[in-house]
Amino acid sequence: MADYRAPLEDMRFVRDEVFHAEQEWQAMPSTAELNAELADAILEEAGRLVEAELFPLNQRGDAEGCLFEGGKVRTPAGFREAFLELARGGWCGLGGNPDHGGQGLPKLLTQAFDEMLYASNASFALYLALNNGAGLLLDAYADEATKALYLPRLYAGEWLGTMCLTEPHCGTDLGLIKTRAVPDGSGGYAITGSKIWITGGEHDLTENIVHLVLAKLPDAPAGAKGISLFLVPKRRVHEDGSLGEPNGVVCGGLEHKMGIKGSATCVMHFDEARGILIGEPHQGLATMFTMMNYERLSIGLQGLGLGDVAYQGAMAFARERRQSRAPGGAAEPDQAADPILVHPDVRRMALDARAWNEGGRLFAAFVASELDRAKYHPDVEVRDASADLVALLTPVAKAFLTDRGFAATVEAQQLYGGNGYCVEWGAEQYVRDARIAMIYEGTNGIQAMDLVGRKLTRNRGAYVKRLVERVREDLGGGDDIEPALRPFQEAAMRELERLERVSATLIEAAGKEPAAAGAAAHDYLHLLGHALYAWMWFKAARAANRGLSGNGPAGKDFYQAKLVVGRHFLERQLPRSESLERQIAAGPEGLMALDRHLF
């Protein structure tokens, strides 16, 4: 009953008309051969693939889940076949390094594919997401021999990568890990310990699995500064890439979860498994952050994709469902009742979900284009500036996209009435599948702490200052602007000033009172999110306005709808930032007042 169509039209608008992808790409040698036409061809094919192959497996995969038996994991029916088809089509190496068989496509393009993957089948998407991050990490830190051996196989989807961080007693606080790595005298290490919540730790999609594992060397300093990173394959790998014996890595079981039931979330035991060190000893956490930051943006896209598929499903329902009459009298008097979209409150839910989704798609594209500049731009100053911006935006992309994505799935579910609670319509699965995105890859609270700590107060607002300059320049003066854009410009400017004001106060408070940053963190992240979306909606409105007056490619209906959805954001979502500012102003005292034993 549910349905999903890859939102190619909006993706094109965002990419070409808002972010001018072709110009961006052609300014950078590594991506200069890419153009909008080729990007379209890739995304159209991707859309066909996810619509035809992955979406039909989504509900069944949820019902069936993964099965653990005799140490092996069986993914839901159809997952293996679909994966093999994707791998054959080269879809596991889209963003990979061309020197090792990757296709070197920029993030601004690949993130659109990621969104589709998550929308059509979030459980399935995770196997690829982890693999992409593992490839990125190895490309950045492994020696040439390791890269030559592993990367082509990861990019081809012959093997899949994982990320092994958490242990039963520690997730956020990785300094506490107990997994040990002992040199084995032949240049390798014997890894021993247990890891939990390992996505794709064991499965039947590929014949080998490449684990990236955090562990401590015998001489490791205490805490987070004593963590090293190791590559530990499920089966040992000969120098020619052929597979050897099993490597002392076993799956101890699967977690039973609220959702993403087609994703194998494994307990993994390492018993003197042979690993090789990746990066420098004791630098494992910093090294792993290459992968973690990748996954954080990826998980943001999970929020976005699920928000969109939830909206699409709700609209399919709304087109069929008739209840009661329009407020001003029957819209379709010859029918027993009007379609539910005549009701303002139904429209409110629909537009809420849609405005968060479309704002999120703009924001995700913005972060992606900055990632591309940071990686590919020929000018080192541009690269550095974009890298700083990405550092600032990563926690927002992870947390705000997933908080808003979850909210969108809940609004969409609400729109179905009772049907939304029944499994058959699929709406409730999106809510369950979206919920995890606020939790894993660093909870959204941890993202907020990262933002106010490392990204705001530690550099005394330097990143935010540069962001503000950038936005202010883009917004331009107020005088010569089209009347249709004025409310967008004014709102974005107002939020920018709010952001500056709140940032300055918070930096000062954090210097005086240790709990101030943590007390403000959640609300500050959301405030920054609102400010960024206000800017994004200004950009979208500007592009839509241009499209309207110049017969742009997307057509009049599209541009007019874009302006209406943007107006909804301004009128009914952005006002939240006022109350966030007030909440931040309350400071830490109230939060810290209650004795621990009184909770």
Among 295, 428, 441, 581, the one annotated catalytic: 441
Nearer to its own copies, 104 or 339 (CB): 339
Question: What region, left, alpha or beta, does residue 469 occupy, with left being phi > 0 and alpha being psi -120 to 50 degrees?
Answer: alpha
Radius of gyration of the CA atoms of the chain, in A? 24
């990785």: which residue's tokens?
A: 174
Tell me the β-bridge partners of 191: 181, 273
In the complex, least distance from residue 155 CB atom to its own copies, rounded to whole angstroms: 29
Pairing of β 249-254 and β 67-69: unpaired
Closest CA to 268 of 435, 71, 443, 77: 71
Nearer to its own copies, 32 or 592 (CB): 592
Nearer to its own copies, 190 or 196 (CB): 196
Closest CA to 297 of 344, 365, 343: 365
DSSP state of 39: H
In the complex, least distance from residue 42 CB atom to its own copies, rounded to whole angstroms: 27
Measured CA angle at 205 (ends 204, 206), to 5 deg: 100
Pairing of β 67-69 and β 243-246: unpaired
| Token pair in block for residue 508 | 């000062």
Q: Cα-flanking dihedrals φ and ψ of residue 293, to 5°?
A: -65, -35
DSSP state of 263: S
Nearer to its own copies, 41 or 586 (CB): 586
Nearer to its own copies, 26 or 323 (CB): 323
Cα–Cα distance between 210 and 162 in angstroms, integer?
6
482 in catalytic set: no
Report the SS3 class of residue 283.
strand
Nearer to its own copies, 247 or 298 (CB): 298
Nearer to its own copies, 383 or 454 (CB): 454
In the complex, least distance from residue 143 CB atom to its own copies, rounded to whole angstroms: 33
Alpha helices, DSSP H only, in 342-379?
344-376
Q: 67 and 74 in contact (C-beta within 8 Å)?
A: yes
| Token pair in block for residue 554 | 């997307």
In the complex, least distance from residue 59 CB atom to its own copies, rounded to whole angstroms: 11
DSSP labels, 461-494? THHHHHHHHHHHHHH--SSSS-GGGHHHHHHHHH
Nearer to its own copies, 183 or 575 (CB): 575
In the complex, least distance from residue 552 CB atom to its own copies, rounded to whole angstroms: 16
Nearer to its own copies, 372 or 433 (CB): 433
In the complex, least distance from residue 478 CB atom to its own copies, rounded to whole angstroms: 21
- Length of the chain as a residue count: 599
In the complex, least distance from residue 365 CB atom to its own copies, rounded to whole angstroms: 22
Q: Cα-flanking dihedrals φ and ψ of residue 237, to 5°?
A: -120, 125
Report the SS3 class of residue 216.
strand
Report the SS3 class of residue 147.
helix
**Per-residue H/E/C for 296-363:** HHHHHHHHHHHHHHHHHHHHHHHHHCECCCCCCCCCCCCCCCCEHHHCHHHHHHHHHHHHHHHHHHHH
Q: 336 and 398 in contact (C-beta within 8 Å)?
A: no
| Token pair in block for residue 47 | 């859309």
| Token pair in block for residue 157 | 């989807």
In the complex, least distance from residue 468 CB atom to its own copies, rounded to whole angstroms: 23
In the complex, least distance from residue 115 CB atom to its own copies, rounded to whole angstroms: 20
Closest CA to 438 of 404, 482, 390: 404
The residues carrying an active-site annotation are 441
